[in-house]
Structure 1
Amino acid sequence: MSQGTTPDMAKWVTLRELLAFDEGGILRLLLAPAGQDVRFEGMIIGDEGPARSYAGRVVLAAGPFPATEAATAWIRETAGRGAAAIVVRSEAGLPPDALATAEQVGVALLARAEWADWDDVATLLRSAAAYAEAGRGDRMADATEGGGLAALASVVAEFTGGSITIEDTQFRVLAHSATGPEADELRRSTILGGRVPDWRVEELRRSGLLRTLWSSDEVIHRPADDDTPERLIIAIRSGREMLGSIWAAADGGSGLTANAASALSRAAEVAVPYLVQHRLRESGARRRAEHALRGLLGGQGDMSTHAWSLGLSPDLRCAVVVAEHDGTPAERTLGLLALQAASYRAGVQVLREGGRIAALLPVGRGDERDALGLARELDVLAASMPGAGPVWVGAGRVVASPLLAADSCEEAGLAVRVLRERAAGGGEPRRHALAADLGPALDVQRVLDAVRPVWERGSGPVYDLVRTDLEAGGELVRSISAYLDASGDVARAAGRLVLHPNTLRYRLRRARERFGVDLDDPDTRLMITLAVRLVGRG
């Protein structure tokens, strides 16, 4: 196990409360021999250092899990130090007797979701403890327990005498108190629309109120103005992280209570674990979808489970479109391409990684070339962006099910490589294509990929020629490549190289005399053809 510690949780939480709080499915309970009411009072990363107490702690087994005998000993030692629970990287990596050992020593065992990381687990544990503590405090906390943000909005309305809205950082309404007939039009439109109108956000941005809100821990007072009633606003923070805000509006005509500001401050504290839970839920859903789409496109894991996670029917016809930025990834370019792909049609699933985006596109019956339309749109968009650099877009074939999406994705990726390499070699300049329109080039790519390991570990005259010449600049390799591409026509190859034919003949003769490479031999020609194609692809 790796060494180190994580910050302790500020409060205690039971296993039952932790699992109830974990709506995003970050953890999966494997075993709870002491029941689900066992308390956790902190967390720590299991280490190999000097023995120390794990009393009441959740131990995160962050490193690779030991082999069977070592795992058994480690679980026994961890439980012997007083650990209340152990979280492992994944259930799949557990040795066969790990569960039996944990049962015997009485320690709870949980597994982290594949899509999650250890930061997610640490955040979950701390937030679950704070969430549980929200129901063990003052009247506001007690009134909120079990009712979530909606209950908090109602009780804060009672304390402040105003109408309450709780929003996240994207100005979406997460909860609100009852809206009476005297509520102003802005509040009504915000609640009905589920978010603050864009014009209002821009107005708050221009006025500087948002900057003040994001940088202050204090309650902000905004006096009544024309048709807008008096308002109090406070940011909801977890440490330095902005989670959202609470707005109190004096809609009733009698104004806000004298202790409204202090009530709002306390409400911001009580709201923290609820908004963290909201963020974990959203983040978890997004990352689960990314994990499923990555597995589906890469052909890794259980395809049926991935498709189910994405809400895709197993008989959905689909194709994959891949776009890759040439050179250093441009965040703005790729971001716009991802948005364009996602908006192309309802149901498009987009995965963005590094300098590449991949879009899974639902396709109707009889529309085999539909993916080419999206490829063309992405190409046109990229070309219209000044200084964006070239973007290559390939569209794979239509497959009968998302369970086969990896095949279409592989074709789309190969199409991108063909387009890029043709352009680099002075060939056709087009930047998007349907894989089916590229002829045998895709199969050639597959053959070269399969042959590369053989080439890299081989030896002999062809290897000596290619490796030696490349170190000297590659002049001879380029000459032989042109000769082979011209099917042995010296005059045509020399023209392409802008050489006198006798110069090319001299170079070919040098290949025979110095390295023993006979280009008249069919096997040698095949080997050197593969070699020059491989080295040309780095």
Structure 2
Amino acid sequence: MRDLLAFDDSGTLRLLLAPAGQDVAVRGVVFGDEVGTRSAEGCAVLVVGPPVSCAEAVAAVRGAAARGACAVVLRESQGVLPAPDVLAAAEESGLALLCRAPWADWTDTAALLRSALSYAGTEPSGESPEEPAESEDTVGGLSALASAIAEYTGGAITIEDTRFRVLAHSATGPETDGVRRATILGGRVPERRVAELRRSGILHALWTSRDVIHRPAHGDSPERLVIAVRNGLEVLGSIWVASDGRGLSPHAPDALRRAAEAAAPHLVRHRLRESAAVRRRDHALRGLLYGLGDQRTHAWSLGLSADAPCAVLVAERADGARPSADRTLDVLALQASSYRSTVLVLRERDRLLILLPVGQAQDRDVARLARELDTLAVSLPAGVTVRVGAGPVVASALGAAASYEEAVLVVRVLRERRSRGGTEGEARCATAAEAGPSLDVLRVLDAVRPLWEAGAGPVHDLVRTDLAAGGELVRSLAAYLDASGDVTRAARRLVLHPNTLRYRLRRARERFGVDIDDPDTRLLLTLAVRLTGGSPRP
């Protein structure tokens, strides 16, 4: 157990209780729902269900103990202490009790533990020159492993992740080819090289094969061997061997196969460390924007000064069902991140949340970024509509939640303006100041919604009956009210003859007893059509 916890340098796991100490042997990892079909003897059981703060987790702890488990992992609830009954159950059962960080997920946690077991369970070898010694790698990490593989294969080594970034490489000799030199200097495989590998089918073979792939020398490119590094079915990266001006060892393929096994735990840890950092950042940013947890801690973990002014922007895609909408938001996220090094972007399913620390320009700074995102979205070939709402500048990062709430309201204003017949240009982008009184109107509507839903009377009867029949009369009333009682303008908006609209207005009075000439009735009708989404179609 002690070795597993030492392997976790990403903060994914936290040990709450170890009644038998940390030197207990861990033989495997199973999920709680697998325990019924396989043995849990000596295993750490991952409980996908109630959190450690919930007393319902007691049954899971006792069930794992009854099946011979040595440890149980529960998920942690943000800011909530473990339930005393759960701690007591683990103490009585003799189980080690661990909790998974809120920003992690179960897939990453299982991969972490299984890789740690593999790493801790590999005995140092070094008996033959074909096997890179695990003990060397333990001391020197991937760089030491790359050097060891170079010695055993007789070639130059690069170890890369699935995004073709160089994680480690062996020493570079005078005969190094141009591709290797450019890859090492740039920290990643050049795009033209990746495109070439894709066209030639090498990448397809690499990601689908479990064996060493041989690429003969061609022109200035020397002979190469490559193998994918895997964790079960998942590809983590690859190891490349180039002849580097001398012939490769006849044992190079065998050494490369063993090296891939030795590299797997390190690449898992690299991936987990990278994803953990992103998850922790997203967790802190989400907490800051949503007003959850300790705001000062969130700001500190994001590297934000508590007294630095900032604003929040929300970019929401309008065409959520189209695959191109995802790509548009990805491009906007890159644009926002490049606007300034201090900008923080949170990518959610249908929108981006952007925290912008502002400089001297303040409001102009926020408006400029909003317009940039709007202009970029319009210029993309995907043709996806994106609405960008910018909240006001707040004096401190601790007030980011207030700016976020206003930015969300601005997006709602843009959406409603568009649904009520606004032009495309005015319905895409706005700041809180530009949204004007529409923000207060939305706040009023949100406040009176419970009163409307609980109410009754002629206006309620008209709206509910007509919406159930398709909403034609409600849309006609909405257009009439928006046009300030101008029948001709409202009819033009609805593409109707004015007499048709007059007939519908008479029907509202005769059938439902709704007098639209009465000021109070008009106010209630205005609120009703806005609350029920009965605005006229553009």
| TM-score normalised to structure 1 length | 0.88
Task: Using the TM superposition, give the Cα deviation of residue 467 of structure 1 relative to its aligned residue in structure 2, in angstroms.
Answer: 0.7
Q: Give 2:512's aligned residue.
A: 515
1:70 to 1:483, Cα distance in 2 relative to 1, 3 A: closer
Question: 1:369 aligns to what SS in structure 2?
Answer: helix
Structure-2 separation of matches of 1:85 and 1:68: 18
Aligned residue type for 1:44: V
- Asked whether the equivalents of residues 393 and 403 of structure 2 are also in contact (C-alpha less than 8 Å), the reply is yes
Which residue type is aligned with residue 426 of structure 1? G
C-alpha contact 1:58 1:86 (8 A) present in aligned 2: yes
Quick check: 1:325 aligned with 2:317? yes
Q: What residue number does 1:126 align with?
A: 114
| 1:260 is aligned to 2:252 | yes
1:471 counterpart (450, 458, 468):
468
Identity over the aligned pairs, expressed in percent?
A: 65
Give the alignment's Cα RMSD to 1 decimal: 2.9
Residue of structure 2 equivalent to 1:187: 180
Q: Which residue of 2 aligns with 1:106?
A: 94
Name the counterpart of 2:130.
none
Report the secondary structure of 1:165's partner residue.
strand
Structure-1 residue corresponding to 2:351: 356
In 2, Cα distance between equivalents of 1:116 and 1:410: 26
The aligned counterpart of 1:24 is: 10
**AA paired with 2:215?**
R
Say yes or no: does 1:408 pair with 2:403. Answer: yes
Judge which range, 140-149 or 73-82, deviates more: 73-82
> Cα gap change, 1:258/1:381 in structure 2, threshold over 3 Å: closer, same or farther?
same
**CA distance change for structure 1 residues 268 and 78 in 2, over 3 Å: closer, same or farther?**
closer
**Partner of residue 374, structure 2:** 379
2:432 aligns with 435
Q: Per the alignment, do residues 481 and 106 of structure 1 end up closer, same or farther by CA in structure 2, a change over 3 Å counting?
A: same
Structure 1 residue corresponding to 2:50, chosen from 40, 51, 64: 64
Choose the corresponding residue for 2:29, options 39, 43, 46. 43
Deviation at 1:143, TM superposition (A): 3.4
Change (3 A) 1:295 1:385: same
CA distance in 2, matches of 1:279, 1:202: 24
Matches within 5 A, 1:125-274: 125-136=113-124, 139=127, 140-251=133-244, 253-274=245-266
Q: How far apart, in 2, do the equivalents of 1:128 and 1:444 lie?
A: 56
Q: 2:305 aligns with which of 301, 313, 316?
A: 313
1:525 aligns with 2:522: yes
* CA deviation string 1:320-343 (max 9, x = no partner): 222222132422222222222222
Moved more, 41-50 or 168-177: 41-50
Q: Partner residue of 1:419?
A: 414
- C-alpha displacement of 1:512: 3.6
Cα contact 1:135–1:144 (8 A) shared by 2: no
Structure 2: stretches of 5+ with no match in the other structure: 128-132
- Which residue of the other structure, out of 265, 270, 277, is the alignment partner of 1:278? 270
User: Does the C-alpha gap of structure 1 residues 136 and 101 become closer, same or farther in structure 2, counting only changes over 3 Å?
Assistant: farther
* Equivalent residue, structure 2, for 1:5: none
CA separation in 2, counterparts of 1:49 and 1:133?
A: 23
Q: How does 1:331-342 map to 2 (within 5 A)?
A: 331-342=326-337
Per-residue displacement from partner, 1:25-73 (whole Å, max 9, x unpaired)? 2211111222211122123333699799632121222112599776556
Q: Deviations over 1:465-486 (max 9, x none)?
A: 1011122332332333344334
1:33 pairs, out of 19, 32, 36, with 19
Residue 437 of structure 1 and its aligned partner are, at CA, apart by: 1.0
Counterpart position of 2:388 = 393
Structure 1 residues 224 and 456, CA gap change in structure 2 (3 angstroms): same
> 1:130 offset after TM fit, Å?
1.3
- 8 Å CA contact retained: 1:65, 1:93: no
Aligned in 2, Cα 1:48/1:354: closer, same or farther, shift over 3 Å?
A: closer
Whole-angstrom distance in 2 between the partners of 1:90 and 1:451: 38
Asked if structure 1 preserves the Cα contact closer than 8 Å seen for 2:52 and 2:75, the reply is no
Q: Distance in 1 between matches of 2:382 and 2:248?
A: 54
C-alpha distance in 2 between matches for 1:73 and 1:365 = 57
| Aligned CA distance change for structure 1 residues 521 and 196 (closer, same or farther; 3 Å) | same
Q: How many pairs are equivalent?
A: 523
Inter-CA distance 518–309: structure 2 relative to 1 (3 Å threshold): same
Deviations 1:487-518 (A, max 9, x none): 45666656655667666555444434432334
SS in 1 for 2:514: coil
What amino acid does structure 2 have at the position aligned with 1:295? G
Partners of 1:506 and 1:225 lie apart in 2 by 83
TM-score, normalised relative to structure 2: 0.88
User: Secondary structure, in 3 states, of the residue corresponding to 1:115?
Assistant: coil
Match of 1:6 in 2: none
1:345 paired with 2:340, answer yes
Displacement of 1:136 in angstroms is: 5.0
1:145 to 1:496, Cα distance in 2 relative to 1, 3 A: closer
- Contact (CA 8 Å) 1:397, 1:408: kept in 2 or not? yes
